[in-house]
Amino acid sequence: MPAARAEGAGKSGPTLEQVAARAGVGRGTASRVINGSPRVSERTRAAVQAAVAELGYVPNRAARALAAGSMDAIALVVPEQENRLFAEPYFSEILRGVSTELGDTDMQLLLTLIRDQRGRERFAQYAAAHRVDGVLLVSIHGDDPLPDLLRDAGMPAVLSGRRSHAEQLPYVDSDNLLGAQIAVEHLLGRGRRKVATITGPLDMYVARCRLEGYHEALRAAGRTRTPPDGRLVAEGDFTEEGGRRGMLELLRRDPEVDAVFCASDVMAAGARLALRETGRRVPDDVALVGFDDSAVARHMDPPLTTVRQPIEEMGRAMVRMLLDLMARAQDDPQGQHRAEGREMTDDDQPRLVLPTELIRRRSS
Amino acid sequence: MPAARAEGAGKSGPTLEQVAARAGVGRGTASRVINGSPRVSERTRAAVQAAVAELGYVPNRAARALAAGSMDAIALVVPEQENRLFAEPYFSEILRGVSTELGDTDMQLLLTLIRDQRGRERFAQYAAAHRVDGVLLVSIHGDDPLPDLLRDAGMPAVLSGRRSHAEQLPYVDSDNLLGAQIAVEHLLGRGRRKVATITGPLDMYVARCRLEGYHEALRAAGRTRTPPDGRLVAEGDFTEEGGRRGMLELLRRDPEVDAVFCASDVMAAGARLALRETGRRVPDDVALVGFDDSAVARHMDPPLTTVRQPIEEMGRAMVRMLLDLMARAQDDPQGQHRAEGREMTDDDQPRLVLPTELIRRRSS
DNA sequence: GCAAGCAGTGGGAGCGCTCCCATCGATGCG
DNA sequence: CGCATCGATGGGAGCGCTCCCACTGCTTGC
């Protein structure tokens, strides 16, 4: 069929000009059809569409980007500190959600790893140079300047998780505090007396929220600070080894710990190792609860009770939110409506917090 | 001059033209400096570099792509059949290797999910329309036409894993056959008498290789087909549930199975479940060996003996190979050297097979 | 009956860059 | 001492597209 596409191998496909010629219309009209403008007669539209089909025309993205000033692409930015994130189920799920939601658009997904400060600045520049139309930020620490760099550059961006309680940028998060709280309440409800916790890195808001939920549950149970000064709190780093060390530390401080809420399943797996090393049974001696409901939770022995967060859905929601922001930016190139006397308030920024849920298994 | 495009906020950064003006040189010279051409005097180079720094100039990718006909981007294509891959450790590792290796380039990584046949064709068109300069293909089934579509379009591509023994395209693979063989030999060496296997989907070459390794080991041990007709072979699909079903099937066929080689750790986890359900102990009653050495192997109880393949390194190798192919394509736009009477032989295609290694843990 | 209005259209003017040809001294050589 | 050479440079000509203005017929309004 596309007998066209003559012999020359490497040449890129037909151009708009050729399509227009074939359809017997002007370049402008052809462009209008391709882009679905309404101001085209039915006859013409059909003719152009036929030409497109015959020639197997595919718009040249670079040309379009150059002329229109938009790249039809968004970036998923991943700070690669500690090489950690990729292995995490969290990331795969986000990725799945993002690409699924993007599948319906003809937007492209760019994956960008940010390694260090230099990379961060470089990316901010890239973004400013309009190499992408929007940015998704995953696993951002509280002190990361990148989001603000992007905002200043006028680049639409959505965070997965907040950096602080007062996050200024659009974000999608899950209800970490409540999730942790129900997890700990569950442990208390099962009659556990010394409920400890292994937290994430406390420079991450998500880790602080889960710790807060832990405290909240204890407080609600009238069990505030027993024993005092957080002896039952160990700071981990969301890694397996961190969970293991945290557990050993907790046991060292108080050998009678009988339950642990871990701020991630992976850390719970680490804690499980430590428990095994020290000859403790789960859940008989120590009950364990994780967070995420990732695959590892199901595979542990015994299977891990955990707090499920709808990660894939979060990925999808982030994309929807970003596309929305991009559309806004389109209509209102520089957020100029704030020039209309109306300050861009925080409330203009979309945000979404999805619910978490306790999944009970045999570890508690 | 182009006072045009005045202040409007969303303005992209400075242009090459402005950099050139600032440095007091012509556009061509500025471009030469930016692209590291040698034909520039030291003085001029310094002046331009200073201007770049002062202005914070970042080349506009779209313009460059349009003018130069290359996108400085490669695509990682993932067929999303069954929604499976993203969750797999295999994928995360590849991804990590790929993006690490790419970090040193200023090449961009595009992630593309292919959902169905339509998506496949669409992507082939995209590629042909030069939206990317090269393609990495992951988890391709034996009958997938995409690789050939790409080759016909003259698009450099590298596969992870072969589609068949006679793979025509460049690929990076690991030594699946030998890996499986040492795994099974290990089992036999431990005195197991009835060694079964749960394979991957047999339309994937990787699965057939591992099955072949299994047979090879039995043959070498003089244990060919006992019992006959592959009663000890169950076909799985690389999923946990598939592993579970495979194990149940094997036990049904022959309750005296005392060892199982699973073609992936995830399936081994499924098999472990089935074993537990039917009251069998690991390794006492049944020894288990997996493949991949993914995180799940370490977390299982008991920890899983498995065959390690250097997945991250495979990702890196794929990128190196692809960049190399792209450079070739550059020099020799249409593989025209075959016009010189020299047919493009298979041997022109780079290929790489990395070694596998047995990791002994307590499940065997 | 004539000026507007409007849907539908064609095509010029760039977008910012790379490619490449023309230019211009400064050399080198016969 | 004049001419071919060469390193260094300037700038025109697009790349394929979108934007937008101008133009064509027609249907309206007064």
Q: Name which of B71, B344, B349, B169 is nearest A12 in CA terms.
A: B71
SS3 assignment for A107-137: CEEEEEEECCHHHHHHHHHHHHCCCCCEEEE
Domains annotated for chain B, with CATH where assigned, are: 16-59 (1.10.260.40), 71-173+311-353 (3.40.50.2300), 176-309 (3.40.50.2300)
Predicted confidence at residue A337, as pLDDT, reads: 46
Q: Which positions on chain D have an atom < 7 Å from some protein CB?
A: 7-12, 14-21
Structure token pair of residue B220? 């070498």
Structure token pair of residue B272? 């472990």
For B120 and D23, how far is CA from C1' in angstroms? 44
> Across-strand partners of B114?
B79
Maximum CA extent, chain B: 86
Contacts (Cβ under 8 Å, ≥6 apart) of B37: none
> Across-strand partners of A198?
A234, A262
Cα–Cα–Cα angle for A169, A74, A126, rounded to 5 degrees: 85
pLDDT at A225 over 90: no
Name chain B contacts of A59, Cβ cutoff 8 Å: 129
**DSSP labels for B301-321?**
SSPPEEEE--HHHHHHHHHHH
Q: Name which of A13, A43, A39 is nearest A28 in CA terms.
A: A39
For B342 and D9, how far is CA from C1' in angstroms? 41
SS3 assignment for A279-312: CCCCCCCCEEEEEECCHHHHHCCCCCEEEECCHH
Structure token pair of residue B224? 């060919």
Q: Name which of B307, B254, B67, B302 is nearest A62 in CA terms.
A: B67
DSSP state of A2: -
Mean pLDDT in residue range A263-275: 94
Q: How far is A253 from chain B (nearest CA, A)?
A: 26
Predicted confidence at residue A227, as pLDDT, reads: 56
A110 touches chain B (CB under 8 A): yes
Mean pLDDT score of chain A, rounded to an integer? Answer: 86
For B16 and C17, how far is CA from C1' in angstroms? 8
Lowest mean pLDDT among A293-302, A312-321, A331-340, B140-149: A331-340
Sign (positive or negative) of CA dihedral B330, B331, B337, B340: positive
From the first residue on, what is the mean pLDDT of each consecutive set of 10 residues in chain B (364 residues)?
35 85 93 90 93 91 89 88 67 88 88 83 78 90 86 89 90 97 96 95 92 94 65 92 96 95 95 94 96 86 94 95 87 50 58 96 95
Predicted confidence at residue A10, as pLDDT, reads: 44
DSSP state of B25: S
3-class state of residue B197 by DSSP:
strand
CA distance B82 to B236: 14
CA distance B232 to B253: 8
Q: Name which of B122, B201, B27, B221 is nearest A108 in CA terms.
A: B122
Res. A301 pLDDT band, cuts 50 70 90? confident
Res. A172 pLDDT band, cuts 50 70 90? very high
Q: How many CB atoms lie within 10 A of CB B189?
A: 12
Distances (CA, A) of B181 to A257, B171, B261: 46, 22, 10
Predicted confidence at residue B25, as pLDDT, reads: 93
CB A78 within 8 A of CB A113: yes
Task: Look up residue B78 and give its amino acid.
Answer: V
A129 touches chain B (CB under 8 A): yes
Element holding A77 (H helix, E strand): strand A73-79
Pairing of strands A305-308, A357-359: antiparallel
Name chain A contacts of B128, Cβ cutoff 8 Å: 12-13, 58
Lowest mean pLDDT among A121-130, A210-219, B2-11, B188-197: B2-11
pLDDT at A228 over 70: no
Chain A: residue whose CA lies nearest to B122: A58
- Between A333 and A315, whose confidence is greater? A315
